[in-house]
Structure 1
Amino acid sequence: MRCGAGLILGTAAAAVELLFALLAGVALLPVAAWPKGRRAVLRPVLAGARILAELERGRLRMWLDLRVTPAYEDVRALRYVACHWALGVLGGVVMLTAAIGLAYGTFGVYGWLLLDGIRNPGSLVLGSLGGFFLVFLTVQGIFGVVGLEGQLARHFLGPRHQEELERRIAELSASRAAVVDAVNDERRRIERDLHDGVQQRLVALGMLLGRARRSQDADRRDRLLGQAHDESRRALDELREVAWRIYPTTLDEAGLRAALETVAERASVPVGVEYALAEEPEQAVATVAYFVVCEAVTNAVKHAAPTRISVAVRAEEKRMYVSVRDDGCGGANAAGSGLFGLARRVAALDGSLSVDSPPGGPTLVAAELPCG
């Protein structure tokens, strides 16, 4: 239905584009050999072509789900307008044929009201079958015209091959720099966790053991040894926590689903996990997805005071979608160190990360990752 409406709008646009192309040709023909006059006339013509091309981009995006980048010159917009009207007429012909086929196909519903409906039931049935067959053919034609619309738009309005290569090189350079920064940030975080947590525990443990070793009182020595034992357990727990945040072994041993369930079990608030992947994703994708969930859950518990967190993982058309929603107080800063580091991790895999966290909540952290 949407494609059909898009083609009908494309037919209306084709009429405007044909008229524009004729008027532009009439205006340019007298000044074709006069450079200054040609430039003067070409300026408003190109501006008009740009407007029509932008309207076409909106139609393609809204009705045909075709997205074309706006990085094109006005001359290419004029060429697109000059060529597209023919395709718009073709779309109109296809939709008119579909209407005729639908009229013949449904003739059996109202044909009995006509004079020949009762006397020639065989003709009525054959006409309806032929109409439905025509509708079937035109449906295929609709998808074909939509495909041609996308090819024409990408050819004239999309980036050239050289521009696409330059854009891709820039993206790869930026993602490589982001990976280096993310690794450095992760090293600093690990160093900070070890220095502020485990190292302090070990220092306290050493002091307790030293005091117990120097003590002459047996009862005091036993108390100090008990404190040292408790401190060693706390240091071991913190060391395990640091190791878990660096990389969970569950991810390698049992897969992404088990790792996410472990995150849910370790959280201090209820966390629901909805896992809808038919097969295990690639290791790099699974690792980034895990850290997105882990960081988002940790931030929510630490800063948003939620009562429940929902995690959803699904795949669609070679893309994996990961979302973490909480009912906390909101106000998460997407530019903060944790979420910003996640965005760089996701971008390194040609993915995208979005954070929607209005004051008062709820907060939604969503990542889109490539998934073969």
Structure 2
Amino acid sequence: MRDERPGDRGEAGDQGAGDRGEAGDQGPGGMKDIAVRGAWYAVGLALGAATAVAELLFFVLAGLALLPVLAWPRGRRAALRRAGAAGGRLTAMERRRLARFLAVPVPPAHGNGQGTRYLAARCPLGLLGGVVLGCAAIGLAYGSFVFWGWLVTDIKYLGLVAVTSLAGFLLLFLAAQGIFGVALLEGQLARHFLGPSPQDRLERRIAQLATTRAGVLSAVDDERRRIERDLHDGVQQRLVALGMLLGRARRSRDPERAGELLRQAHEESRRAVAELRDVAWRIHPAVLDEAGLRAALETVAERTPLPLTLEYAVNGAGLARTVETVAYYVVSETVTNVVKHSGATRIGVSLSRDGAAGPLRLRVEDDGRGGADPSGGGLTGLASRVAALDGRLAVHSPPGGPTVVTAELPCA
């Protein structure tokens, strides 16, 4: 069963509480999702109001503790250190609340000073969330009074009660909008104070690009070595054997023996051509450029000795050439590893994409013995290819299987 908690929706939470597109919230299912999300937000704001009170007490107590030692540097440093440690624990609690209930995962605070500034800034917002929840409770009470009020008192002016109920439902509606608005502000405030600065983001991006470039260069070198090995151990040996057979046939004075040698040379040439085609296919299949990703993957399924089921549900506009190439190599190399090492009896490959701007998601699963090493040379090379497109590759392969390789490639 799918868990509807907003904080458990993977990477979508990075967009913040109010940054999600509402296009998919139409219809009964969308309204149900909004209601569930609003309930989680309400719980998060209620907890936030309680923590805001605790944080106000923290600042009051910290100020009282600092007053006697303001003129004593050593004591002041000790008091500030203890206050910073307490503020760090409060900030960590706030991060857990934001991620759990408001779908706003934020990184750990870079320092106690930053966390303390965040706590000071969010105290009024936390109290505002409590006020909004109080308005929602009052609106719900007044709005529903027409249904339960007769249980506690005699209703003499039903029309006035009905008007009051309508006003209560209006207040409830406005408070519900306020719940989403405060949740959005909570996320923006946390990202402003606790998130990385623009310079930190730039440095992280530069480091990521440098790592990705190094990984791509390593993958290219590995690919060149593999091609050289295939040519040396396969095609070259076939051609050497072909030359030897032709030389023996030319020197032979027995026509029958010469004919047999020529027949062997012909078979050897056919094997050499087949291996050369196979090497060329592994370098880059022509069908990928001519007919697209689906046709290339269908060819992989035909060439695989194991039963392979392919599910292709890629919606939207055509994929970029680089995305198709990386997706093909991820599937092709993973299937090759399955055939060689897993002892599997079947393979499942699925590709999906939602809309023209959605990422391409692919999944390769087998029923083999498991235990695949994500840090192995083959999987590391695939991860480098995927990272070059700012994508993600994950390998789940417990002992005993099954092994599941998933990748997500941005297409926007």
Q: Calculate the TM-score normalised by the size of structure 2.
A: 0.83
Which region of structure 1 is more displaced relative to structure 2, 74-83 or 216-225? 216-225
Specify the alignment match of 1:160 in structure 2.
Answer: 197
Asked if 1 retains the 8 angstrom alpha-carbon contact of 2:41 and 2:102, the reply is yes
Matched residues, number: 371
Question: Is 2:119 the partner of 1:81?
Answer: yes
Q: Which of 316, 322, 328 does residue 362 from structure 2 map onto?
A: 322
Q: Distance in 1 between matches of 2:241 and 2:212?
A: 42
- CA shift for structure 1 position 107: 4.6
Counterpart of 2:219 in structure 1 is 182
Provide the rounded CA distance (Å) in 2 between the counterparts of 1:118 and 1:226. 110
Q: C-alpha deviations, 1:148-185, integer Å up to 9, x for none? A: 11111111111122222211111111111111111111
Instruction: Please name the residue that 2:294 is paired with.
Output: 257
Distance 1:228 1:87, change over 3 A: same
Who is 1:62 aligned against? Answer: 100
CA distance in 2, matches of 1:222, 1:21: 99
Identity of aligned residues (%): 60
Deviation (angstroms), 1:71: 5.1
Is the aligned partner of 1:340 residue 2:380?
A: yes
Aligned ranges for residues 213-292 of structure 1 at < 5 Å? 213-279=250-316, 280-292=318-330
Whole-Å separation in 2 of the counterparts to 1:226 and 1:131: 95
2:340 to 302, 305, 308: 302
1:25–1:359: structure 2 CA closer, same or farther, 3 Å change rule? same
Give the aligned partner of residue 391 of structure 2: 351
| Inter-partner Cα distance in structure 1 for 2:106 and 2:209 | 21
Asked if the contact 1:21/1:81 (under 8 Å) is kept, the reply is no
What do the CA deviations read for 1:300-345 (whole angstroms, capped 9, x no partner)?
A: 1211122222222223674332221111110111111100111111
1:277, 1:132 → 2: CA distance? 44
Aligned partner of 1:50 among 47, 70, 88: 88
Q: AA paired with 2:77? A: R
Measure, in 2, the Cα distance between the counterparts of 1:127 and 1:335.
66
Mean Cα deviation higher: 57-66 or 256-265: 256-265
Contact 1:190 1:242 survives alignment (8 Å): yes
The code of the aligned residue for 1:15 comes to V
**For 2:361, what is the secondary structure of its paired residue?**
strand
Q: Give the TM-score normalised by structure 1.
A: 0.91
Counterparts of 1:104-183 in structure 2, within 5 Å, are 104-107=142-145, 109-110=147-148, 120=158, 122-123=159-160, 126-183=163-220
CA shift, 1:117, in A, is 6.2
Q: Give, in whole Å, the separation in 1 of the partners of 2:272 and 2:146.
A: 82
Deviations 1:68-105 (A, max 9, x none): 12251111011111221211112222223333334444
| Residue segments in structure 1 that go unaligned for 5+ positions in a row | none
Q: Distance in 2 between matches of 1:24 and 1:128?
A: 46
Q: Compared with structure 1, are the counterparts of its residues 68 and 226 closer, same or farther at alpha carbon in structure 2 (3 Å cutoff)?
A: same
Which residue is equivalent to 1:201? Answer: 238
Give the aligned CA root-mean-square deviation in angstroms: 2.3
Cα offset, 1:50, TM superposition: 0.8
How far does the alpha carbon of each residue in 1:5-52 deviate from its partner, in whole angstroms, 9 at most, with x for none?
A: 222222222121111122112222343454333211100010111111
Give the secondary structure class of the aligned counterpart of 1:364: strand
Residue 111 of structure 1 contacts residue 124 of structure 1 at CA under 8 Å; is this kept in 2?
no
Q: Say which SS state the counterpart of residue 231 (structure 2) adopts.
A: helix
Is 1:15 aligned to residue 53 of structure 2? yes
Contact 2:109 2:115 in 1 (8 A): no
Contact 1:105 1:129 in 2 (8 A): yes
Distance in structure 2 (CA, Å) of the matches to 1:110 and 1:284: 64
Point out the more displaced range, 101-110 or 346-355: 101-110
Equivalent-residue separation in structure 2 for 1:200 and 1:250 (angstroms) = 28
Quote the residue 2:62 is aligned against: 24
Task: Report the Cα distance in structure 2 between the residues aligned to 1:34 and 1:239, rounded to whole angstroms.
Answer: 82
* 1:365 equivalent in alignment to 2:402: no
Which of the numbers 40, 49, 72 marks the counterpart of 2:78? 40
- In 2, the alpha carbon distance for the partners of 1:115 and 1:71 equals 54
CA distance in 2: counterparts of 1:27 and 1:214, whole angstroms: 104
Q: Is the 8 A contact 1:315 1:371 kept in 2?
A: no
Code of the residue aligned with 2:275 in structure 1: it is: E
Question: CA offsets, 1:262-295, max 9 Å, x none?
Answer: 2222222222222232132222222212211111
Output the CA distance in 2 between the equivalents of 1:107 and 1:209. 101
The whole-number CA distance in structure 1 between the counterparts of 2:365 and 2:399 is 14
2:3 corresponds in structure 1 to none
Whether the 8 Å CA contact 1:50–1:78 is kept in 2: the answer is yes
Describe the shift of the 1:132–1:229 C-alpha distance in structure 2 as closer, same or farther (beyond 3 A).
farther
Give, as a single letter, the amino acid of the residue that structure 2 aligns with 1:339: L
